[in-house]
């Protein structure tokens, strides 16, 4: 049980949208699968957050989870062997799929 007054309690994750939890779960899955280490993940996320701060992005959950996605994209290219072109093609395919999918229906590639 979460105890907000317990300084040793793990932080309760905060999510505004389901995709935010999914992004962190994806990062964890990739660490567990050996695509990259937890240290490499932490370094990539830290670099993405520093870049957001350098650009003047506000300190918000949206900024944090955007940095999570940016870090995943970088590591997908650097560590998992997914090229920028492959990622762009997959993103375009997903965008086309969700645009043609009726509201409330599952998106299918």
Residue 3 pLDDT level (bands cut at 50, 70, 90) = very low
68, burial (CB in 10 Å: exposed 0-12, middle 13-18, buried 19+): buried
pLDDT of residue 1: 38
Phi, psi of 2 (to 5 degrees): -75, 130
Decide if pLDDT at 2 tops 50.
Answer: no
Mean pLDDT in residue range 5-16: 66
Once rounded to an integer, what is the mean pLDDT over residues 51-66? 94
How confident is the model at residue 13, as a pLDDT? 65
Mean pLDDT for 66-85 is: 90
Could you write out the three-class secondary structure of 24-49? Answer: HHHHHHHHHCCCCCHHHHHHHHHHHH
- The confidence score (pLDDT) of residue 24 equals 92
pLDDT confidence of residue 81? 83
Residue 5, pLDDT > 80, answer: no
Q: What percent of the chain has pLDDT over 70?
A: 88
């Amino acid at each position: 049980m979460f105890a907000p007054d317990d300084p040793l309690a793990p932080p309760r994750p905060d999510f505004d949208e389901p995709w935010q939890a999914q992004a962190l779960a994806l990062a964890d899955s990739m660490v567990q699968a050996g695509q990259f280490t937890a240290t490499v993940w932490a370094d990539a996320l830290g670099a993405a957050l520093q870049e957001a701060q350098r650009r003047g992005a506000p300190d918000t959950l949206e900024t944090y989870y955007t940095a999570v996605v940016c870090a995943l994209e970088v590591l997908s290219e650097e560590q998992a062997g997914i090229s920028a072109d492959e990622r762009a093609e997959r993103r375009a395919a997903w965008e086309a799929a969700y645009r043609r999918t009726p509201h409330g229906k599952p998106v299918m590639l």
